[in-house]
Chains A and B, each alone.
Chain A
């Protein structure tokens, strides 16, 4: 895991090879078939929208990719290498960052402390991780430059997250994911709890993530967002992949039909 995030070195020469490819993903919960033979690929600098009605398997799929659940069968390849995701930590180590709907922010910590929670910049290296001394100044500086880079404005960078608005919190969570995501950023309904203007800011942020060469998987229910942002859309229904297309204003009805199965 790299401790020095630098969004600039991400433009690799392997731009066309899928950075993440899921093949034949199958997952059961008891008698319920949550995922059935799903294939998904994502490339750098691309936003893939994952669509589907409630219970279609979107969340299960991203939980399998981010190591929360384990596939019963099928494989996940990162940069062409089969990588079993046995835990969230392993997925993170493989370069996958997930922003959950609940954001997983620590309300009692500042943005910088949130960014580096569990991955603090600290030394000396010969001490066990927990006993190292924090390099708070460097973490603050890197957080400030990253927030500036993503054009995220906060009232105060040193206030605890509890004091910030929904949009600011979402922006912090998304920005945090980019600090360490070397391969894929997964966003689970990032605008669900936001108003119009705050949604706008988060969508702009997502577009900036793509422009900086990240592979982005976006789950959303909002078709306008899909058409505006998505390079490709994969539609799931009842655990199966029922379609994949490039969303345009013209095929919106077709997408909707796929989602509801009409």
Chain B
């Protein structure tokens, strides 16, 4: 008969599991019963091989994995190196990860929408150079900060604008292009050299502030607080998750997808601008060579922190934990006198582990879903 639906999805197979033991089978729809029995048998055995309680324990371990690993790392290092857990070193780690943390939070929003922003490093370099130039042109500190942040946001707007309204299939290429353009502009404007000198208000970010912590830590906390409010309590934050979860559905539900996408790139760019302020403060200079490989560090931080590269899943805690983990790993390898080139290898390996963790999590959740359908009967 032509009315038998030929679609055999996994879901249907799952639902059939329920029906196999059901006495009412065949009462309503005799046509469908014959079309997925072997399918369902396979899924039955598959699903029963793991207990649901074990599954959920595994899942929560995966979800808290990054924080656990960070704590473990810290515990291990405090035992192996006498210098690690000193206030001086902790403050040092926090200062060094401040830039990655802030920029990674922006990157996190972009990745939530299934995107990527490769331009953050060059964007930061350009912003720092423009800041240094404006300082030398006599601008006060507030204006210098504004120049850097606006410059970052502007590059972000170019990224988002071309990606969305230029109808590009993926943000990879446009952010790759602005990576090159911003870097070139920065090198050109600074004539290839670092430009020393920043207003004292900005330099203060690099020196110790409250409680022995560097001023930049408080910038990170302020940005994190702002992100928390936006992503947790505001409609816009919900839209970001919706767009990342299912872009076509978001469009059908009347969410202004284009503007949500553009906004995430603007925010990512703005974070690069804020990162420029922090780095310029720490080094008392603006330089076209700032932010080298920062795109790698920030993407790594987001992924290591446990956010999904497939979009829609993750929160700012992931970016912060990931950034800290990178900072701690680098610091540890320095303290343990490991070759600096080896750091790159270690970070790369950690990324691979994190991504596989994400894949494993998705698979486990699929199994939970299967069990869920089974339990319904």
Interface residues of A (CB under 8 A from B): 53, 88-89, 92, 100, 104-109, 113, 117-120, 122, 129-134, 155, 162-168, 189, 192-200, 221-224, 256, 259-260
A196 to B238, Cβ gap below 8 A? Answer: no
Least distance between B111 CB and chain A CB atoms (Å): 13
11 residue pairs from A and B, CB less than 8 Å apart: A105-B249, A107-B246, A109-B241, A133-B234, A167-B376, A193-B9, A194-B15, A195-B14, A195-B17, A195-B19, A200-B28
Query: A197 and B12: CB pair below 8 A?
Result: no
Asked if A163 and B369 make an inter-chain contact with CB atoms under 8 angstroms apart, the answer reads yes
Instruction: Report the separation of the CA atoms of residues A197 and B28 in the bound assembly, to the nearest whole angstrom.
Output: 9
**Pairwise interchain contact A199-B28, C-beta atoms closer than 8 A:** yes
A199 to B22, CA, bound (A): 14
CA A224 to CA B253, docked complex, whole Å: 32
Q: Whose C-beta in chain B lies nearest to the C-beta of A53?
A: B2
CA distance A192 to B18 in the complex (A): 17
**Nearest opposing residue in chain B for A155, CB measure:** B372
Q: Given A120-B235, A134-B233: A165 and B255 within 8 A (CB)?
A: no
Question: Complex Cα distance A213/B96, Å?
Answer: 63
**With A193-B9, A196-B29, A199-B28 given, is the CB distance from A117 to B3 under 8 Å?**
no
A-B contacts, CB under 8 A, total: 158
**B373 and A166 contact, CB distance less than 8 A:** yes
A196 in complex: contacting residue of B25, B242, B248, B375, CB < 8 Å: B25
Q: Known contacts A196-B15, A197-B15, A224-B28; decide if A118 and B236 are in contact (CB<8 Å).
A: no
Is B68 interfacial (CB-CB < 8 Å)?
no
Asked if B7 lies at the interface with its beta carbon under 8 angstroms from chain A, I say yes
The answer to whether residues A197 and B234 also contact, given A118-B242, A130-B239 and a CB cut-off of 8 A, is: no
Is B161 close to A, CB under 8 A?
no
Is B121 close to A, CB under 8 A? Answer: no
Residues on the A chain within 8 Å of B5, using CB: 189, 192, 221-222
Residues of A within 8 A of B238 (CB): 113, 117, 120, 134
Asked if B14 and A165 make an inter-chain contact with CB atoms under 8 angstroms apart, the answer reads yes
B373 contact set on A, CB distance < 8 A: 165-167
What residues of B have a CB within 8 angstroms of the CB of A117 in the complex? 238, 242, 249-250, 253, 255
Instruction: Type the 1/0 row for B249-284, where 1 means its CB is closer than 8 Å to any CB of A.
Output: 111111110011001000000000000000000000
Residues of B in contact (CB 8 Å), total 55
User: Given contacts A165-B11, A195-B14, A197-B19, is CB(A109)–CB(B242) below 8 Å?
Assistant: yes
The smallest C-beta distance from B266 to any residue of chain A, in angstroms, reads 13
B residues in contact with A163, CB < 8 Å: 365, 368-369, 372
Residues of B within 8 A of A92 (CB): 254
Q: Is the CB of B312 closer than 8 A to any CB of chain A?
A: yes
Known: A107-B246, A119-B253, A120-B235. 4 other contacts (CB 8 A): A104-B252, A106-B242, A130-B259, A166-B11
Expressed in whole angstroms, the Cα–Cα distance for A181 and B25 within the complex equals: 34
A166–B377 Cα gap in the complex (Å)?
A: 13
Once A89-B254, A104-B252, A200-B28 are accepted as A-B contacts, the answer to whether A134 and B235 lie under 8 Å apart by CB is: yes
The verdict on A195 contacting B12 (CB below 8 Å), with A53-B2, A104-B246, A221-B3 known, is: yes
Q: Which residues of A contact B7 (CB under 8 A)?
A: 192-193
A106 touches B241 (CB 8 A): yes
With a 10 A CB-CB cut-off, give which of B25, B250, B369 has the most chain A CB atoms: B369
Q: Which residues of A contact B14 (CB under 8 A)?
A: 165-166, 195
A170 to B, closest residue via Cβ: B11
Give the residues in chain B near A106, CB-CB below 8 Å.
241-242, 245-246, 249-250, 312
Is there an interface contact between B18 and A195, defined as CB atoms closer than 8 Å? yes
B78 on the A face (CB < 8 A): no
Min Cβ gap B366→A in Å is: 9
B244 sits at the interface (CB 8 A): yes
Name the A residues within 8 Å of B251 (CB-CB): 88
CA–CA, A166 and B7, complex, Å: 14
The minimal Cβ–Cβ distance linking A184 to chain B, given in whole angstroms, is 16
Known contacts: A132-B234, A132-B235, A221-B5. The answer to whether A104 contacts B242 by CB under 8 A is no
The closest CB in chain B to the CB of A173 belongs to B249
A134: B residues at CB distance < 8 A: 233-235, 238
User: Out of B4, B18, B252, which one reaches A88, CB within 8 Å?
Assistant: B252
Within 8 A of A (CB), among B289-321: 312-313
Q: Is there contact, CB below 8 Å, between A195 and B250?
A: no
Q: Which A residues touch B249, using CB under 8 A?
A: 104-106, 117
Residues in B with CB closer than 8 Å to A131 are 234-236
Which chain B positions have C-beta within 8 A of A222? 3, 5, 29, 31
Q: Distance in Å from the Cβ of B137 to the closest Cβ of chain A?
A: 35
Distance in Å: Cβ of B78 to nearest Cβ of chain A: 37
User: Is A195 a contact partner of B365 (Cβ separation < 8 A)?
Assistant: no
* Contact between A107 and B245, CB atoms less than 8 A apart: yes
Contacts of B234 in A (CB 8 A): 122, 130-134
Cα distance, A130 to B17, chains bound together (Å) = 43
Q: Which chain A positions have C-beta within 8 A of B260?
A: 130
| Complex interface: chain B residues within 8 A of A223 (CB) | 3
